[in-house]
A and B are shown apart, each in its own frame.
Chain A
Amino acid sequence: MARMKFICDAERCIECNGCVTACKAENNVPWGVNRRRVVTLNDGVAGEKSISVACMHCSDAPCMAVCPVDCFYRTDEGVVLHDKDVCIGCGYCSYACPFGAPQFPSNGTFGLRGKMDKCTFCAGGPEANGSPAEFEKYGRNRLSEGKLPACAEMCSTKALLGGDGDVVADIFRNRVLVRGKGSEVWGWGTAYGKPATGGPQQPKPEGKKS
């Protein structure tokens, strides 16, 4: 069984925002809502790094835990989705999410906060797969078409990888082995496991880490 995950390679992201544009165009995301954003660390300083951030489809999602109306659910592939017909737009999930993934469109004259909107891993929602109702509320359902999220497939430098966690981790691990750096940013063993065949083992930390 696939476990869908995103990985962003900070060594490759060039902050082009192609993923953001692809997401907005593919899913017809309303103005003011960004399901995906590019975040730059140490902006303007030599050696700055950028990563593309959206919902990480957590295995133990805090948004699911705090939702008072229990509108979230997880698919068999590990994609965290929600039912907009149940969502009350309270914003608890926004406070709980460490990635700022839940977004709230402003509707009406007084900017009334609408129902939550977030990355669906291009998997739509509980409506019929590929139906107009699903597109209206959640955007495209590319997974049901045998495709991967538009952001990852459109990434020009292939910094953003999306798909089965085992597959994308192998692709990323291979890159790290070839270029000889990059694993320290992410925590080799913790995040992606030990390499299946060959390759350097995870370096042992010399000092204590909190």
Chain B
Amino acid sequence: MMRTTALLLTCAALTLVACGEKTAGAAKKADVPAFQGSTGVGAYTASGWKPGDQSAWDQQLRTRAQGQNEYNRTSTQP
């Protein structure tokens, strides 16, 4: 009787060990913020801002976005 109980307890303990197992998936890599600039061909980087300067990058994108506003190109403003 004691041996059966001990065997059952051992089996239960071994079964529950798996519950604490961590999944062995690949971890996400950390990304570098865009304002840090590109490591690629320097000629592709737009002029008017300095890589690493977040406020300059924000301003560059705001200015660039205004290129989509055709009312900035016409003489007649609404």
B34 adjacent to A75 (CB under 8 Å): yes
Q: Could you count the A-B residue pairs with CB atoms below 8 Å apart for me: how many are there?
A: 120
Q: Which residues of B contact A175 (CB under 8 A)?
A: 71
A127-B69 Cα distance, complex, nearest whole Å: 33
Q: Which residues of A contact B10 (CB under 8 A)?
A: none
**How many whole Å from B43's CB to the nearest CB in chain A?**
10
B68 adjacent to A158 (CB under 8 Å): yes
| B:23-49 near A, CB below 8 Å | 25-41, 44-46, 48-49
A153 adjacent to B71 (CB under 8 Å): no
A85 adjacent to B31 (CB under 8 Å): no
Q: Which residues of B contact A146 (CB under 8 A)?
A: 45-46, 48-49, 57, 60-61, 64
**How many whole Å from A74's CB to the nearest CB in chain B?**
10
Q: Produce 1/0 per residue, A139-152, CB < 8 A to B.
A: 00101111110001
Q: Which residues of A contact B61 (CB under 8 A)?
A: 2, 143, 146, 148, 163-164
**How many whole Å from B74's CB to the nearest CB in chain A?**
11
Q: Which residues of B contact A129 (CB under 8 A)?
A: 32, 34, 36-40
How many of chain A's residues have a CB under 8 angstroms from any CB in B? 44
| A:121-174 near B, CB below 8 Å | 123, 125-131, 135, 141, 143-148, 152-153, 155, 158, 161-164, 167-168, 171, 174
B29 adjacent to A126 (CB under 8 Å): yes
B36 adjacent to A167 (CB under 8 Å): no
B71 adjacent to A71 (CB under 8 Å): no
* With A2-B58, A131-B40, A158-B68: A147-B46 Cβ-Cβ less than 8 Å: yes
Interface size class of B (residues with CB under 8 A): 35 or more
Interfacial residues, chain B to chain A (CB-CB below 8 A): 25-41, 44-46, 48-49, 51, 57-58, 60-62, 64-71, 78
Whether A41 sits at the interface, judged by CB under 8 Å, is: no
Q: Produce 1/0 per residue, A71-84, CB < 8 A to B.
A: 10101110001010
A153 adjacent to B78 (CB under 8 Å): no
Interfacial residues, chain A to chain B (CB-CB below 8 A): 1-2, 69-71, 73, 75-77, 81, 83, 85-86, 123, 125-131, 135, 141, 143-148, 152-153, 155, 158, 161-164, 167-168, 171, 174-175, 177-178
* With A129-B40, A147-B46, A153-B68: A164-B28 Cβ-Cβ less than 8 Å: no
Which A-B residue pairs are the 4 nearest by beta carbons?
Answer: A130-B40, A130-B38, A163-B65, A146-B46
A159-B28 Cα distance, complex, nearest whole Å: 35
